[in-house]
């Protein structure tokens, strides 16, 4: 997916929010915005939003001097999400279609997104609201058919905290005898999950956890490691969580199922849905 002019103000908003979360002076916050303003004329709209986001958050880290500006908030979101785990398991165990319920819960976890202004204001009510929603796009039959022929699944993580909701879906996939490789970011960017987040939330006990070698807030293959690309080329199926991964991989022509909540008008227009819709979308 390409970048649109509507994305530019969003980049400035994200940069300012991240600088404030880094707890630096207004002078430093203004410096972050000034540096970004100088770079805007050279940004290509043919690049995907995550590719530009990589530049934005690198500048935030450079100017604020904070390697991981959102580390404290990520840790808190992990702890809060883990406190929901027993209740999430009950919601799956009591469901008629456990896999479908686990898919919906995985998408419910996509509420946790600091880039879009959602910090720690997610609650059990938010989860219930998602469970009551109809899907904007629901390629569930395609998903079940694809699972029949898939032994190994590459599961692309999105945010810290959200990892707990991914765990719920992964546990259901393991019951179907699927081998899961769970992919996190290599370096801090926004509140994207790192290996330490996956381990804190128990993913390493049920799946192989690997880094994609990148600090892009999404998945851009040219920035990924050889190890990740080897997994990517050889896997039977990819589950891609979050809007950033959709923006980076929507044009790929291998079996990918995108699970996310639509958080902006640009993506809503691209997928043919509405802001706030929950999506299970096949790219084929």
Where do the structural domains in the chain lie, given as residue ranges? Answer: 7-64, 71-282
Predicted local confidence at residue 116, as pLDDT: 59
pLDDT for residue 87 is more than 90: yes
Full DSSP string of 243-271: HHHHHHHTT--S-EEEEEE--SHHHHHHH
pLDDT for residue 118 is more than 80: no
Domain 71-282 has CATH 3.40.50.10880: yes
pLDDT for residue 121 is more than 70: no
pLDDT for residue 173 is more than 70: yes
Helices (DSSP H) in 109-179: which residue ranges?
124-132, 140-148, 162-175
Average pLDDT, the chain: 93
DSSP code, position 115: G
Q: Which of 32-46, 53-67, 113-127, 243-257 has the lowest mean pLDDT?
A: 113-127
| Bridge partners of residue 159, in order along the sequence | 192
pLDDT for residue 115 is more than 80: no
pLDDT for residue 128 is more than 90: no
Predicted local confidence at residue 129, as pLDDT: 87
Predicted local confidence at residue 124, as pLDDT: 78
Helices (DSSP H) in 161-242: which residue ranges?
162-175, 195-200, 226-234
- Nearest CA to 127 out of 171, 92, 175 is that of 92
* Share of residues in the chain with pLDDT > 90 (%): 87
Predicted local confidence at residue 73, as pLDDT: 87
């Amino acid at each position: 997916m390409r970048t649109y002019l509507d994305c530019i103000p969003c980049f400035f908003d994200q940069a300012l929010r991240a600088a404030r979360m880094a707890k630096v002076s207004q002078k430093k916050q203004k410096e972050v915005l000034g540096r970004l303003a100088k770079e805007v004329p050279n940004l290509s709209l043919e690049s995907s939003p995550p590719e530009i986001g990589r530049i934005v958050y690198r500048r935030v880290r450079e100017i604020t001097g904070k390697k991981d500006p959102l580390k404290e908030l990520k840790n808190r979101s992990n702890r809060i999400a883990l406190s929901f785990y027993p209740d999430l398991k009950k919601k799956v165990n009591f469901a008629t279609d456990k896999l479908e319920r686990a898919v919906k819960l995985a998408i419910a976890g996509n509420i946790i997104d600091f880039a879009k202004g959602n910090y720690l204001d997610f609650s059990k009510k938010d989860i219930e609201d998602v469970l009551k929603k109809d899907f904007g796009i629901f390629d569930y039959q395609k998903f079940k058919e694809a699972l029949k022929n898939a032994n190994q699944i590459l599961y692309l993580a999105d945010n810290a905290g959200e990892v707990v909701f991914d765990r719920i879906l992964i546990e259901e996939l393991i019951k179907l005898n699927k081998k899961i490789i769970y992919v996190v970011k290599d370096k801090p960017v926004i509140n994207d999950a790192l290996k330490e987040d996956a381990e804190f939330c128990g993913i390493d006990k049920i799946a192989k956890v690997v880094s994609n070698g990148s600090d892009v807030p999404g998945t851009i293959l040219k920035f990924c490691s050889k190890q990740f690309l080897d997994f990517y080329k050889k896997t039977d199926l990819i589950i891609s969580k979050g809007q950033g991964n959709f923006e980076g991989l929507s044009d790929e022509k291998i079996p990918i199922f995108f699970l996310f909540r639509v958080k902006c008008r640009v993506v809503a227009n691209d997928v043919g849905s509405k802001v706030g819709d929950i999506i299970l979308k096949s790219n084929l």
